Structure 1
Amino acid sequence: MSLTFAPADSTAVPLVILEADSFPNWLDEQPEATRTWITAQGFTAAIGSALTLPDADGKIAMALAGIGTAKTRRRGRFALAASAVKLPKGIYRIASGLPTDSAETECLGWLLARYSFQRYHAAPNTFPDLVAPDGVDATRIEAMAAGEALTRDLINTPTSDMGPDALEGAARALADQFKAQIDVTTGDALLDANFPMIHAVGRASCTAPRLIDMRWGYSGPQLVLVGKGVCFDTGGLNLKPGTSMGLMKKDMGGAATVLGLAHMIMALNLPIRLRVLIPAVENSVSGNAFRPQDILTSRKGLTVEINNTDAEGRLILADALALADESTPDLIVSMATLTGAARVAVGPDLAPFFSDSDKDATDLSSAGAQMADPLWRLPFHEPYETMIEPGIADLDNAPSGGFAGCITAALFLRRFVTDTPRYVHFDIYGWQPTPAPARPKGGVGMGARAILAALPQLLDL
């Protein structure tokens, strides 16, 4: 489904957006017949309320969409999308009431609300269309919507159709679309190219592990995005219980999110040099699976004691981060569905991130608030470094005790970024557990729009 605006010259129904606080005054100014109709329908301008007003021939003359109060809007996101879904199918043009401070976000929410995953089950398109209002950057909004749709589609697709090979196919399709360069190192070639931990994690699967390396742009600051591409995580020999394995098709949510963000960056032709690195594996069980107590040597030369094969994401990211670090880019960003501890800490709605730079953290947090893509900074707390030092090897992939699990995982990853001064790590969930405005249950991007909005500050564009 295309998440785009209706053509600007479309014949469209005028749509009035109303806040609950100012609605009574607006209603008093309307003709008596209009007041009578609206009152009889019980419309109050609450979030999720919509109403059409007929003309003398019974056709829709005007439509209303409620966005509640400032207080109720703070308790959620995409208030306009919540009301738009109640409108009948058709084309609408905003006549008045679009909040100027959130116009782009509310229009983006309208487009995102059109999304549905239809690869295996077709559903009728009954969602209304919107003409892009004057004053918003329609191209930018459509690029963000398309990138988010890509992320959602990739996460929602089960591993039977989205294994490491299919994830590579998705990356190649994106590279072809934007004329990017792409190279893939697969199977035992990973050992020849010195990616031993990617190989170790993925070798037990019947689908070979691989490292996807996509490059785009020839000038400007360099940004490297690293996304965890565990296409399914059984837990390995430390097998997950069935209840914990049920959503593991989404364990490539980091990869899906960086591909969605890459789509946004390339579609907007930002003046940067972009590199996307995705270690793509399945963490499976077979006779050659890596084992608890194994000690692996990473691309960086650091040794890692395996104390839990279900802490595999940080292993594959470590090799990819080491590669990213070798080119000393201006900024490295990693995104991963990495730890349950992050979900316990902030729940499914916030994307926690780690950065040593107060300025970068402030820029990202401000952009997240602006883009309805909320973030929360967590610390690279150095006193916890000893928790990832087992003594028998340089690093421990799964410290015992359970304390500060998302922080120790972030500290682990930071050990592999030694030459690049600016590194940001996101520990995302990648899944919407219950339907919400513009976010149906299923895969969802987290942090991508915040990063996109912050790039002018992060990279001095």
Structure 2
Amino acid sequence: MTAVFAEATGDAIPIHVIEAGKLEDWLGGQPDTVRGWVKANGFTGKLGQVLILPDGVGFAAALAGWGSEKDRARGWFHFGTVAAALPEGTYRIESGLEGDALSEAALAFLLSAYRFSRYKDAGVQRATLVCPDGIDPRRLEVIAAGVALTSDLINTPASDMGPDQLENAFCDLAGAFGAKAEVIRGRALLAENFPMVHAVGRASDQPPRLLDMTWGDSTAPKVTLVGKGVCFDTGGLNIKPGSSMGLMKKDMGGAATVLGLARMIMALNVPVRLRVIVPAVENSISAGAFRPGDILTSRKGLTVEINNTDAEGRLVLADALALADEESPAMIVCMATLTGAARVALGPDLPPFFTDDGSLAGELEAAASAVKDPLWRMPFWDGYETMIEPGIADLDNAPSGGFAGAITAALFLRRFVENAGTFAHFDCYGWTPAAKPARPKGGACQGARALLEVIEGRYGNGE
């Protein structure tokens, strides 16, 4: 269920946000009964503390501890902790926050209401919030709905989210916003020149496919989102150990993220010509599986030596990126759960992005900070180009040596983009390993909110 704000009402319970060290300032204007209650309950303004002030019949107000600036710098969406702790009721933020902090708190409240309840009752958030004055409620509700879509898709196991079901979700989204969706499936991929998408997915009972959606005014700036849709990754014939296979339902996290972002863009009617391309496959094992040592010819014509069938994501993305590049869009964004190397470098919360466009990099860094959607730039390091050139083919899908794995994967993808106005690749984890404020354990939408900010900033006026 999509989280929305409560209707404004005079009965909404006020929330006073109190920073550590400023409690006495607030208490100075309160009656002795309130001062006594606050001290008796040990409320100090520590980050995440919540205290209800009774009025003899119900709740007079709530106090929310906001800690220090140093405390808050260690994370984001702290107001999600407040939302989760509040008793049932309708609330409004009365004091203690303003500007961007108020907007972040309102979005955190919505995001904290997310529950994945497809397979069991996950409960509901009992508290609701009236959108603060000066903040566009619909915009935040749209963003929360896009994040929820991404999380739902990632959280659903491959038994119910294979290529067939991902196609259904893709087409349902297109239908909801009047977009045009096209699907190329099975052996038709060979006829339409998507050989690497076909090779990676041909061993599965569910045929591989290329999903292609277009929306918006055909004369508007072209923004193309490409998402890795590997619905489950066994590793292929280079089979993963069980410990590495347990979370592979999330290997379509790039596809899930671009669908969440696409939903935001379409719902907000951003004036772009949006295209979304998802190669949807399952990297399975059968007699028909592609093999180590095979050499595949890509849509672009570049040949690729397969040195590890578990480096399959870059193969399907290569054909999809080549297709995207053919119409020379203003921007191509590639999102994928691509390498373990990115996680080793930056951990699960901080996705790296790669771009040669310094202006775009600056915009992404500023947006990531502004909307609390962390990103970190890593380089397309030209000195490593030789690492992806095996000798008997144009490219190597899995360079030996183990060094710079996230960079060599990004360099591989860059070979398939030549004509776009700008290009960025995001190597996301797509998963929150342990629950955090407004971010439950499970599928995570990473980078989409920052990208929305950048796309609106660049093209929001229709230029």
Same fold (TM over 0.5): yes
Deviation at 1:15, TM superposition (A): 1.2
For residues 8 and 179 of structure 2, what CA distance do their matches in structure 1 show? Answer: 31
Amino acid across the alignment from 1:212: L
Do 1:16 and 1:95's aligned partners in 2 also have CA atoms closer than 8 Å?
yes
Q: What does residue 352 of structure 2 align with?
A: 352
Q: What does residue 258 of structure 2 align with?
A: 258
1:292 aligns with 2:292: yes
- TM-score with structure 1 length normalisation? 0.98
Do 1:10 and 1:131's aligned partners in 2 also have CA atoms closer than 8 Å?
no
Q: What does residue 194 of structure 1 align with?
A: 193
Query: Counterparts of 1:296-335 in structure 2 under 5 Å?
Result: 296-335=296-335
Do 1:104 and 1:137's aligned partners in 2 also have CA atoms closer than 8 Å?
no
1:165 aligns with 2:164: yes
CA RMSD of aligned residues (A): 1.0
For residues 65 and 277 of structure 2, what CA distance do their matches in structure 1 show? Answer: 43
Deviation at 1:56, TM superposition (A): 3.0
Deviation at 1:233, TM superposition (A): 0.1
For residues 85 and 375 of structure 1, what CA distance do their matches in structure 2 show? Answer: 26
* Structure 1 runs not aligned, ≥5 long: none
For residues 210 and 374 of structure 2, what CA distance do their matches in structure 1 show? Answer: 30
Do 2:271 and 2:459's aligned partners in 1 also have CA atoms closer than 8 Å?
no
Q: What does residue 105 of structure 1 align with?
A: 104
Amino acid across the alignment from 2:102: A
1:384 aligns with 2:388: no
Q: What does residue 425 of structure 2 align with?
A: 425
Query: What is the CA deviation profile of residues 68-118 of structure 1, one whole-angstrom value per residue up to 9, with x for unaligned ones?
Result: 111100001111111221110111011111232322222111111011100
1:363 aligns with 2:363: yes
For residues 139 and 159 of structure 1, what CA distance do their matches in structure 2 show? Answer: 32
- TM-score with structure 2 length normalisation? 0.98
Q: What does residue 233 of structure 1 align with?
A: 233
Do 2:2 and 2:144's aligned partners in 1 also have CA atoms closer than 8 Å?
no
Amino acid across the alignment from 2:178: K
Q: What does residue 35 of structure 1 align with?
A: 35
For residues 11 and 309 of structure 1, what CA distance do their matches in structure 2 show? Answer: 60
Deviation at 1:460, TM superposition (A): 6.4
Q: Which moved more, 1:408-417 or 1:9-18?
A: 9-18
Q: Which moved more, 1:106-115 or 1:307-316?
A: 106-115
Q: Which moved more, 1:90-99 or 1:390-399?
A: 90-99
> Which portions of structure 1, spanning 4 or more consecutive aligned residues, are displaced by more than 3 angstroms?
456-461
Query: Counterparts of 1:382-461 in structure 2 under 5 Å?
Result: 382-459=382-459, 461=461
Do 1:304 and 1:396's aligned partners in 2 also have CA atoms closer than 8 Å?
yes
Deviation at 1:10, TM superposition (A): 6.7
Do 2:115 and 2:124's aligned partners in 1 also have CA atoms closer than 8 Å?
no
Amino acid across the alignment from 2:336: A
For residues 126 and 319 of structure 2, what CA distance do their matches in structure 1 show? Answer: 44
Q: Which moved more, 1:348-357 or 1:448-457?
A: 448-457
Amino acid across the alignment from 1:258: V
Q: What does residue 178 of structure 1 align with?
A: 177
Deviation at 1:21, TM superposition (A): 2.8
Q: Which moved more, 1:191-200 or 1:106-115?
A: 106-115
Query: Counterparts of 1:78-97 in structure 2 under 5 Å?
Result: 78-97=77-96
1:155 aligns with 2:154: yes
Amino acid across the alignment from 2:378: L
Do 1:230 and 1:283's aligned partners in 2 also have CA atoms closer than 8 Å?
yes
CA 1:416–1:126: 2 relative to 1, 3 Å: closer
Amino acid across the alignment from 2:92: R
* Structure 2 runs not aligned, ≥5 long: none
Percent of residue pairs bearing the same amino acid type: 62
For residues 233 and 300 of structure 2, what CA distance do their matches in structure 1 show? Answer: 24
For residues 205 and 267 of structure 1, what CA distance do their matches in structure 2 show? Answer: 34
Do 1:230 and 1:281's aligned partners in 2 also have CA atoms closer than 8 Å?
yes
Which secondary structure does the structure 1 equivalent of 2:252 belong to? helix
Query: What is the CA deviation profile of residues 175-217 of structure 1, one whole-angstrom value per residue up to 9, with x for unaligned ones?
Result: 1111110000000000000000000000000000000001110
For residues 10 and 26 of structure 1, what CA distance do their matches in structure 2 show? Answer: 23
For residues 368 and 243 of structure 2, what CA distance do their matches in structure 1 show? Answer: 32
Which secondary structure does the structure 1 equivalent of 2:97 belong to? coil
Amino acid across the alignment from 2:314: R
Q: What does residue 138 of structure 1 align with?
A: 137
Which secondary structure does the structure 2 equivalent of 1:67 belong to? strand
